[in-house]
Amino acid sequence: MKITNARIIVTCPGRNFVTLKIETDEGVTGLGDATLNGRELSVASYLADHVVPCLIGRDPQRIEDIWQYLYKGAYWRRGPVTMAAIAAVDTALWDIKAKIAGLPLYQLLGGQSRDGVMVYAHANGRDVAETVDRVGEYIEKGYKAIRAQSGVPGLSGVYGVAKDKFYEPATKGLPQESVWSTEAYLDFVPSLFEALRVKHGMGPHLLHDVHHRLTPIEAARLGKSLEPYRLFWMEDPTPAENQDAFRLIRQHTVTPIAVGEVFNSIWDCKDLIQNQLIDYIRATVVHAGGVSHLRRIADFAALYQVRTGCHGATDLSPVCMGASLHLGLAIPNLGVQEHMEHNAETDAVFPHSYTLKDGYMHPGETPGHGVEIDEELAAKYPYSPAYLPVARLADGTLWNW
Ligand code: CS2
Ligand code: MG
């Protein structure tokens, strides 16, 4: 079998997605997600101008060889654009291999290690009362794990708080700016989780995304102040370029830590995992080199009893969600999978086999990763430039969004 063509499909059913479709001489095709929020066209170009010419004529079954060819052969290794491009190729090739085998992808990854993949939902509100209600709604829907994000008194445009139902951070036009105050946030967040535990008890898994906003010692303080509420995890407490920063947090708190949605390779998390500085690795299929590389990261993490908590926000397409669920069903060290519902238009553009029931998802039994694309429908939604916001402190200092 030979690869005869590979096309990049850019569509915007409510938000932008970049999808790679690999075609073969035996008519078997595979899909890979290549969406990098706010920088979509850079990956589309990397694929179209640099990667696709290298794929034509190759045997699609040689996944590992093609991965190494695109990683080492690029000379310029790692980074979000390169690794999203490699991820799209890798995911599409696994889709093809599983279709050739006539098996759902998880069977090629070792079969089911559990009956379903526990997922967490996103609850957010403008204030404590609204957030408490939203969490209650998701508990009603059967979710076992819910992330809680609330507006902070005195701050506008806080991360994770939706203007309407779904929180979509990227907005049309130039990046929106919001003012951040760590003091207001640190003094407020414990009261949110106090209210959530008083209302919903200690049963539900509660998660919170700090979204890279604190310094290591501030993160240590937050983790400590949240200990009575036994969070499932505190996510991205501080930027992770300096992996040693997490030693300071660990010294002061036992609140579990999740990191990694912005990671692109095993090198970004090796020290964090090896030194037991995190409990959940959030690297995901589309941004960390595909199924092949994410499997490597998960296997490495398992050695240190670190579990996966893969990123699954709406800017990661259903193709990524499908592949991520197959991996999550098979690996021994799944922690939880993030699940933000895509809108109806997106679900129509990307018909898929995965299902949700009582807080658990299953990728389905369709050969491949179970997600396809309706190209005719996709063409109805042209690309629309959008940017992620930026944050500044009250004195105008540019801060971590
Ligand atoms: C977030 C994301 O879901 C999360 O954990 O951190 O919503 C993130 O802000 C976006 O994916 C950025 O594009
Ligand atoms: Mg996050």
Partners of 3 in the β-ladder: 24
Instruction: Print pLDDT tens along the chain (401 aa).
Output: 999 999 999 999 999 999 999 999 999 999 999 999 999 999 999 999 999 999 999 999 999 999 999 999 999 999 999 999 999 999 999 999 999 999 999 999 999 999 999 999 999 999 999 999 999 999 999 999 999 999 999 998 888 887 666 678 899 999 999 999 999 999 999 999 999 999 999 999 999 999 999 999 999 999 999 999 999 999 999 999 999 999 999 999 999 999 999 999 999 999 999 999 999 999 999 999 999 999 999 999 999 999 999 999 999 999 999 999 999 999 999 999 999 999 999 999 999 999 999 999 999 999 999 999 999 999 999 999 999 999 999 999 999 99
Residue 94 lies in a domain: yes
Is the domain of 20 the same as that of 82? yes
Question: How far is residue 268's CA from residue 288's CA, in Å, rounded to a whole number?
Answer: 10
Question: Which residue's CA lies nearest to atom 2 of ligand 1?
Answer: 313
Residue 380 lies in a domain: no
Residue 55 lies in a domain: yes
Residue 377 lies in a domain: no
Residue 337: which residues within 8 A CB-CB, separation 6 or more?
117, 118, 119, 120, 308, 309, 310, 312, 324, 325, 328, 361
What is the secondary structure of 284-310 as a DSSP string?
-TTTTTHHHHHHHHHHHHHHTT-EE--
Question: How far is residue 19's CA from residue 21's CA, in Å, rounded to a whole number?
Answer: 7
What distance in angstroms lies between residue 311's CA and the mean position of ligand 2's atoms? 7
Question: Which residue's CA lies nearest to atom 1 of ligand 1?
Answer: 313
Amino acid at 383: Y
Is the domain of 224 the same as that of 130? yes
The tokens describing 383, both together, are 């690309």
What distance in angstroms lies between residue 65's CA and the mean position of ligand 2's atoms? 32
Among 125, 122, 120, 121, which residue's Cα sits nearest to residue 192? 125
Question: Which residue's CA lies nearest to atom 9 of ligand 1?
Answer: 169
Given a contact cutoff of 8 angstroms between Cβ atoms, the answer to whether 43 and 32 are in contact is no
Question: How far is residue 388's CA from residue 330's CA, in Å, rounded to a whole number?
Answer: 33
| Host domain of residue 362 | 108-366
Q: Which bound ligand lies closest to the C-alpha atom of 400?
A: 1
Residue 401 lies in a domain: no
Instruction: Among 52, 80, 104, give the residue marking a domain's end.
Output: 104
What distance in angstroms lies between residue 236's CA and the mean position of ligand 2's atoms? 6
Domain count of the chain? Answer: 2
The tokens describing 315, both together, are 């800017």
Residue 385 lies in a domain: no
The binding-site residues of ligand 1, defined as CB within 6 angstroms of any ligand atom, are 37, 169, 209, 211, 261, 311, 313, 315, 338, 388
CATH of the domain at 37: 3.30.390.10
CATH of the domain at 127: 3.20.20.120
The pairing of beta strand 3-11 with beta strand 17-24: antiparallel
Residue 392 lies in a domain: no
Given a contact cutoff of 8 angstroms between Cβ atoms, the answer to whether 161 and 211 are in contact is no
Where would I find the H helices in 22-114? 40-45, 52-55, 63-72, 80-101, 105-108
Q: Which atom of ligand 1 is nearest to the CA of 235?
A: 5
Is the domain of 86 the same as that of 184? no
Q: How do residues 137-146 score in pLDDT, each as one tens digit?
A: 999 999 999 9
Residue 390 lies in a domain: no
| Assessment of whether the complete model's pTM goes beyond 0.85 | yes
Given a contact cutoff of 8 angstroms between Cβ atoms, the answer to whether 295 and 319 are in contact is no
Q: How do residues 255-273 score in pLDDT, each as one tens digit?
A: 999 999 999 999 999 999 9
